[in-house]
C-alpha cells in the first residue's frame, strides 16, 4: 500500500471523540474512576474532560493549543474535521464499520465531541482544567493523576515523531500517573503496529514499570484494537 491509497493526515489533527468513543478505545469504566483524578494528554477537541467532570471525576486536559481563544479553537476544530473527513474518500475499506455506520456518522460523532469540548473550554478558559502544554514535558508533579490517557498521537504519527520523542513521552506520562497509563492505538496510519513497541516496553521495564498489551472493544482503523497499559 503506497501513500496514495491509504488514509493519512498531513499534520496532527485537532479533532475530538465523544466520551462513548473514549470508553471503548480505552476499555474504560468511568464509574470506577469517580472521585479520582484523570489526565487526558493530548486532549484535542475531545469531550472526555467535560463529561468526566460532570460525572464526578477530577479530569484535566493538556494540549499545546489550549492557550488559543475559544472561537479560534472552534474554527480550528471545524477545519480539521473537514480535512479528516475528506481523507476517507476512496479508502473506506481500510476501516471497520461497526461502531460508526458510515462517514457521515463519523462526522456526527466528531462534531458532537468538538461542540461539547468548545462549550466547556470557553467556560473554563484560563483555568486549570485545560492546560496549555505538550509532551514530552508536562507541568505536573510526579503522581499527580490516578489515571493518564493518551490517544491518537503516540505510535500513530510515527513519521512526524521520532523514537526519542516516544520514549521520553511514555516516561513522562508514567511519571505523572500514580496508578496507570493507557495509550491508544498501537498502530500507524498504515495499520501496522509501531515497530519499536517492544523496545519501548523494555525501556519502561528498565525504569520499573510493568506494561501489557490489552484488547479493547473498539476498532475503526483496521488493526487498532489494542492499547498499551503501563502499571505505575
pLDDT confidence bin for 3, thresholds 50/70/90: very low
Residue 165 has pLDDT above 80, yes or no: yes
What would the mean pLDDT of 122-149 be, rounded to a whole number?
Answer: 97
Instruction: Report the alpha-carbon distance of residue 106 to residue 104 in Å, rounded.
Output: 5
pLDDT tens for residues 196-205? 999 999 999 9
pLDDT for 190 = 87
This prediction has a pTM of 0.95
How far apart, in whole angstroms, are the C-alpha atoms of residue 210 and residue 230? 6
Q: What range defines the domain where residue 194 resides?
A: 3-231
In this model, does residue 126 exceed pLDDT 90? no
Q: Using CB atoms within 10 A of its CB, is residue 167 exposed (0-12), middle (13-18) or buried (19+)?
A: middle
Task: State yes or no: pLDDT of 149 exceeds 60.
Answer: yes
Q: Is the pLDDT of residue 178 over 50?
A: yes
Question: What does the alpha-carbon distance between residue 85 and residue 9 come to, in Å, rounded to a whole number?
Answer: 10
Distance CA 205, CA 47 (A): 32
> Dihedrals φ, ψ of 229, to 5°?
-110, 130
**pLDDT of 56-113, one tens digit each?**
999 999 999 999 999 999 999 999 999 999 999 999 999 999 999 999 999 999 999 9
Residue 10: which pLDDT band, with cuts at 50, 70 and 90?
Answer: low
pLDDT at 2 (0 to 100): 46
How many structural domains is the chain composed of?
1
- Confidence band for 186, pLDDT divided at 50, 70 and 90: very high
CATH of the domain at 22: 3.40.50.150
Average per-residue pLDDT in the chain? 95
* Res 4 pLDDT > 70: no
User: Quick one: pLDDT at residue 1?
Assistant: 40
Amino acid at each position: 500500500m503506497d501513500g496514495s491509497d491509504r488514509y493519512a493526515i498531513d499534520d496532527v489533527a485537532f479533532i475530538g471523540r465523544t466520551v462513548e468513543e473514549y470508553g471503548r478505545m480505552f476499555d474504560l469504566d468511568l464509574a470506577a474512576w469517580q472521585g479520582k483524578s484523570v489526565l487526558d494528554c493530548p486532549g484535542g477537541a475531545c469531550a472526555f474532560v467535560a463529561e468526566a467532570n460532570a460525572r464526578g471525576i477530577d479530569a484535566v486536559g493538556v494540549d499545546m493549543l489550549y492557550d488559543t481563544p475559544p472561537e479560534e479553537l472552534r474554527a480550528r476544530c471545524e477545519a480539521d474535521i473537514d480535512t479528516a473527513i475528506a481523507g476517507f474518500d476512496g479508502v473506506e475499506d481500510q476501516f471497520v464499520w461497526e461502531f460508526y455506520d458510515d462517514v457521515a456518522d463519523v462526522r456526527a460523532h466528531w462534531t458532537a465531541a468538538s461542540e461539547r469540548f468548545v462549550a466547556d473550554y470557553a467556560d473554563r478558559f484560563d483555568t486549570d482544567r485545560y492546560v496549555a502544554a505538550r509532551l514530552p514535558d508536562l507541568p505536573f508533579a510526579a503522581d499527580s493523576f490516578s489515571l493518564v490517557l493518551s490517544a491518537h498521537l503516540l505510535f500513530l504519527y510515527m513519521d512526524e515523531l521520532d523514537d526519542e520523542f516516544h520514549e521520553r513521552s511514555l516516561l513522562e506520562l508514567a511519571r505523572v500517573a500514580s496508578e496507570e497509563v493507557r495509550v491508544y492505538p498501537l498502530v500507524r496510519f498504515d495499520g501496522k503496529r509501531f515497530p519499536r513497541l517492544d523496545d519501548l516496553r523494555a525501556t519502561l521495564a528498565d525504569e520499573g514499570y510493568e506494561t501489557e498489551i490489552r484488547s479493547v472493544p473498539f476498532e475503526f482503523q483496521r488493526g487498532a484494537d489494542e492499547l498499551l497499559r503501563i502499571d505505575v
